[in-house]
Amino acid sequence: MRVSIQRRRFLGMSLPLLLISRLPGPAQAAGDARITGLWKLVSYEVEVRSNGKMIPVMGARPTGFAYFTPGGRVFFNLTGEDRKPAVNDKERAALLDTMIAYTGRFTVTGNQWTAKLDAAWNPAWVGTEQTRSFEIDGARLRVLTPWRIMPNWAEEGETRSIVTFERATDD
């Protein structure tokens, strides 16, 4: 079987390209080691932009966790203190005001992370990018949201959340 010169040139050029395309590419950026791991919620306060008022919107002892995987996924499940099981639709709806839950892929740039959400307690957040600033002081992680109108306490107008976590173990 004879292969034309043009075909040999094509095959000769394609083989290296084919081999290169099969090599593993650059490693995907993993989660930032500073925040990777499990964090337990300590406090959740909201600062009201119009008057500087600080509100412990989740109570004095909220519960919840944030988990940042080494592969770049984040999970949040934060709830206010003293939540009681609902017995009717009005009470079930009110429970949404004392909960924040979402997950998505995250990237870190400096002291900010951006999570592209693929699931959330509030459907309006699905598909959005949520950016947060953070500071780490020892075993404490302090998170600040940008100023915005939060669905849970929209009546306050523009607010920003100040959320504090402490590093936790997987026990």
Domain assignment present for 11: no
Report if residue 2 sits inside a domain.
no
Distances, alpha carbon 163 to alpha carbons 44, 60, 66, 76, in Å? 5, 12, 11, 12
Task: Report yes or no on 13 lying in a domain.
Answer: no
Give domain status of residue 142, yes or no.
Answer: yes
Give the whole-angstrom CA distance, residue 76 versus residue 78.
Answer: 6
Task: Report d(CA 48, CA 43) in Å as an integer.
Answer: 16
C-beta separation of 64 from 41 below 8 A: yes
DSSP helix/strand/coil, 75: strand
In a domain, 7, yes or no: no
The answer to the question of residue 122 being in a domain is yes
Confirm whether 97 is domain-assigned.
yes
Which domain does 153 fall in, by range?
A: 28-167
What's the pLDDT score for residue 97? 85
pTM for this predicted structure: 0.77
Residue 17 falls within a domain, yes or no?
Answer: no
CATH number (domain holding residue 134): 2.40.128.490
pLDDT of 10: 38
Instruction: Kindly give the confidence (pLDDT) of every residue in the chain, 171 residues in length, as a single tens digit, with 9 standing for 90 and above.
Output: 454 444 444 344 333 333 333 333 333 345 689 999 999 999 999 999 999 999 998 999 999 999 999 999 999 999 999 999 999 999 999 898 899 999 999 999 999 999 999 999 999 999 999 999 999 999 999 999 999 998 878 899 999 999 999 999 875
| Residue 51 CB contacts under 8 Å (≥ 6 apart), including other chains | none
Longest C-alpha distance within the chain, in Å? 85
Half-sphere exposure of 15 (CA within 13 A, CB side): 5
* Backbone conformation region of residue 98, classed left if phi is above 0, alpha if psi is from -120 to 50, else beta: alpha
Q: How many domains does the chain have?
A: 1
